[in-house]
Amino acid sequence: MSLAGTISTPQKWPSRQVVVSVVVLAAVLVALAVIAPNFFRYGNIINVLLQASLLGILAIGMAVVMIVGGIDLSLPANMAMSAVLGALYMKATGDWTVGPLIMIGAGVAIGAVNGFAVGRLKMIPFVVTLAMMTMVSGATVWMTNSLSISQLPETFVDIFGARPILKIPVTVLIVAGLGFVLTTLMRSSIVGRWAYAVGINEKAARVARIPIARVVLGSYVFSGLMAGLAAILVTARLGAASANMGNDGMVLDIVSACVVGGVSIYGGSGRVFGALFGALLITVLSNAMNLMGVSFYFSLVIKGAVIIAFVAADRRSGGRS
């Protein structure tokens, strides 16, 4: 592979996986129109978009890390701890202005630790983020005694839980804007091209004098930033924060959203907007299975099978090549 190819524009989008995802989504929607026509009520559609957006924020962070060639299993736990720290401060002081900053700061700090371990110390991303997930989850449960932190300032809930346009939640608008901006930046900016180059071929990127350690560190810091932002928006939606916000099952949904949205598990391929589309598909699929009475545990089996199928398709289409 030439150095010019390493830093060239990423492969054409939409990918085969995204096309298949569109077909699957269309089939699910047709099935819902027959089985559960109430699904298409305006209020329910808005709620589905809200759920997809909250998943989508974390999927954005995961997508950037996966494009660089890593993975961040600690995202849900990071979100939960960040939310709890900010909520504890707001409940103790009644000051809503600093709480969001604490959530963002905590998320970025955890992401930076992950990034330093992977980028500078050359540790394995799966092991590092799995260990971080375990530590952060345990610390969050210990801080809260498994209780919710409620009675938060009303101003905080009103601002970040607002529905300013046609009852569309501010979360949906924020995520849509983030998806558009980040997709453009990842495709057109030099930093975005560096990220794809590192994911495609780290050795070639090193020869091209791309600062690999900084790119990897930056991807995990950004992932942590998304966890902090998700902490703000989820806490505002629920009016409370707890360790249960970051349950282990969320990792499966986040990875599923990225994979079905065309983000390669092997690195160097995919779009942030694809991850958002994947989040929408996973959310609609989860709602459809719930409406059809599919048990929670069997739904996990289905989601796991979806990941395996799309990873296999990704591998057949060339993976990192």
**Measured at the alpha carbon of residue 60, what is the angle toward residues 57 and 66, in degrees to the nearest 5?**
145
Give the pLDDT band of residue 1 (cuts 50, 70, 90): very low
Q: Where are the alpha helices (DSSP H) in the chain?
A: 3-6, 16-35, 42-68, 75-93, 98-115, 125-144, 154-160, 170-188, 190-200, 202-207, 212-238, 249-260, 272-291, 296-316
Q: What is the pLDDT of residues 261-318, one digit of tens each?
A: 999 888 998 999 999 999 999 999 888 888 888 888 888 888 888 888 887 877 766 5
The mean pLDDT of 130-139, rounded to a whole number, is 96
Q: Can you give the pLDDT at residue 6?
A: 45
Torsion of CA 100, 168, 248, 314, to 10 degrees: -120
Phi–psi pair at 265, nearest 5 degrees: -70, -15
Give the C-alpha distances (Å, rounded to integers) separating 81 from 113, 136, 160, 251: 15, 7, 18, 15
Q: Can you give the pLDDT at residue 165?
A: 87
Torsion of CA 307, 270, 44, 169, to 10 degrees: 140
Rounded-to-integer distance, Cα 170 and Cα 162, Å: 6
Q: What is the pLDDT of residues 184-240, one digit of tens each?
A: 999 899 999 999 999 999 999 999 999 999 999 999 999 999 999 999 999 999 999
Q: Can you give the pLDDT at residue 13?
A: 60
Which residue(s) pair with 46 in the sheet? none
Task: Name the amino acid, one letter, at 87.
Answer: A
Q: Can you give the pLDDT at residue 2?
A: 45
Q: Can you give the pLDDT at residue 304?
A: 83
Among 144, 136, 300, CA closest to 224 = 136
Return the CA Rg of the chain: 19
User: Which one is predicted more confidently, 303 or 77?
Assistant: 77
Query: In 3-state terms, what secondary structure has residue 165?
Result: strand
Name, in order, each residue with C-beta under 8 angstroms of 92's C-beta and a sequence gap of 6 or more: none
Rounded-to-integer distance, Cα 214 and Cα 76, Å: 24
Q: Can you give the pLDDT at residue 10?
A: 52
The reply to whether the predicted model has a pTM over 0.85 is yes
Rounded-to-integer distance, Cα 140 and Cα 78, Å: 9
Helices 249-260 and 272-291 cross at an angle (nearest 10°) of 120
CA 192 distance to own-chain centroid? 18
Q: Can you give the pLDDT at residue 296?
A: 82
- Encoded tokens for 256: 């599923």
Rounded-to-integer distance, Cα 109 and Cα 227, Å: 11
The mean pLDDT of 38-47, rounded to a whole number, is 90
Query: In 3-state terms, what secondary structure has residue 137?
Result: helix
Phi–psi pair at 165, nearest 5 degrees: -125, 115
Torsion of CA 149, 154, 155, 157, to 10 degrees: 60
Longest dimension (CA), the chain: 58
Rounded-to-integer distance, Cα 182 and Cα 318, Å: 25
Q: Can you give the pLDDT at residue 263?
A: 92
CA 234 distance to own-chain centroid? 13
**What residue spans define the domains of the chain?**
56-251
Q: Can you give the pLDDT at residue 16?
A: 72
